[in-house]
Amino acid sequence: MGQVLVAGGGAAGLMAALSAARAGAEVTLLEQNKQVGKKLSATGNGRCNLSNRDQDLSHYRGGRPGFAGTALKAFGLFETLDFFETLGIAVRDRKGYLYPYSDQASAVVDVLRMEAEDLGVKLALNTRIEGALRQGGRFLVETKGWTYEGDALILAAGSCAAPQTGSDGSGYRLAESFGHSLIKPLPALVQLRSKDPVFRGLAGLRMDARVSLYTGEQLLAADTGEVQFTDYGLSGIPVFQVSRYGVRAMDQGRKVRAVLNLLPYLKEEELPAFWKKRMELGARRRAGRLLVGLFPKKMADCLLKRAGILADKKTGALTSEECQKLSQCCRAFEVRISGSNGFDRAQVCCGGVDTGEVEPKTMESRLVPGLYFAGEILDVDGACGGYNLQWAWTSGWLAGTHSGRKLQKEHLT
């Protein structure tokens, strides 16, 4: 029986360990925390959005877009749901977003840990990996006071995102020590910062908007949903969704601006009639009332100011330039982005181990036979909505199953 070592006991490492054990390997999982699944238990605000019915490949990003697609073909949503069903996790569907029926991320951690224990996986907790190497066809993994040996090694030590959960980037160093290249890891699914003083007045507001990020005239990404205005800048799901593109552009020294359409559900061609009617209805009222009922007061005041319109001017006396300026401010509320809230607040990283050096059907390294990767350590990041966990399940299953099967085959020949 071959021995598989798994570095990291997060979602991907647990899935990999279970799968390798199911494929017949003797498995030891090394985790520096005193428990497995620390990040997993914090996912989805403690409810764990474990996957999504919409598996369009555009939700998976990275340097080589085909990589995740090939892997998901081998072990995708339906296989994942079957897998969890066998562990007793029934799934709750919220508009396609999938959660454990109990709405408890801790339940997902528990079933994975219990199944690992039932399969005889050795959990080496409080065990920080300091280094690893391949010698004489075996992997030696150094920890304080002990060297673990295995026939295969799965690196599932996560990224740099949310380091308080244990993923401090040391997995990347291990991958590099085996000769693998990294696409620079950067924060993704993260809030965006702005030095624009406008945020001092808008902090606390939540509004639906379409957020478009630009560098120069180039559109980087756009998404629609509830945006949160904070004292440091922008937050909310649509901001998270586009953040990776802005963070990457800023890291390359490019200037990034966010353009918010505060009337995202009105079509361009509907706008003239919309404003005409509003102006006519409010012709004898003050401009300050023009936006009442449309936007929260703080935003209405800010928009009038940006359009250069005095709140007590009669609406009927507004010039067509002023009306146009106001409409433009509502459709394209622009702020300069200065950075992000960094790895500490990011849900995931974009970047990681270059997937050109990894076999997508097995997750085995193309450089070092017997070395596998799983989870966020790879240059694959999902959109918000269960895609990062789906990637952990997919890559974890592939790495575990194929490392276990390969060792079984070698053992039999």
In the chain, the amino acid numbered 205 is L
Min separation Cβ 51 and ligand FAD, Å? 7
How many CA atoms, within 13 angstroms, populate the side-chain half-sphere of residue 225? 13
Min separation Cβ 171 and ligand FAD, Å? 5
Min separation Cβ 28 and ligand FAD, Å? 12
What residues between 339 and 368 interact with ligand FAD by CB under 6 A? Answer: 347-348
Which is closer to ligand FAD, CB of 229 or CB of 387?
Answer: 387
Question: What's the Cα-to-Cα distance from 70 to each of 61, 96, 286, 340, 363, rounded to whole Å?
Answer: 13, 22, 60, 32, 11
Min separation Cβ 192 and ligand FAD, Å? 17
Which is closer to ligand FAD, CB of 5 or CB of 335?
Answer: 5
150 binds ligand FAD per the rule CB under 6 A: no
Min separation Cβ 72 and ligand FAD, Å? 14
First to last CA, the chain: 12
Min separation Cβ 252 and ligand FAD, Å? 24
Candidates 3, 4, 6, 10; binder of ligand FAD (CB under 6 A) is: 10
Which is closer to ligand FAD, CB of 202 or CB of 384?
Answer: 384
238 binds ligand FAD per the rule CB under 6 A: no
| Residue whose pair of structure tokens reads 């993994």 in the numeric block | 141
What residues between 159 and 188 interact with ligand FAD by CB under 6 A? Answer: 161-162, 165-167, 170-171
Which is closer to ligand FAD, CB of 33 or CB of 106?
Answer: 33
Candidates 375, 379, 380, 393; binder of ligand FAD (CB under 6 A) is: 375
Q: Look up residue 251 and give its two tokens.
A: 């890291």
**Binding letters toward ligand FAD, positions 15-54, x by CB under 6 A:** ---------------xxxx----xxx-xxx---xx-----
Sign of the dihedral defined by the CA atoms of residues 393, 395, 398, 401, in that order: negative
407 binds ligand FAD per the rule CB under 6 A: no
Binding site for ligand FAD (CB under 6 A): 8-13, 30-33, 38-40, 42-44, 48-49, 128-129, 156-158, 161-162, 165-167, 170-171, 347-348, 375-376, 386-389, 392
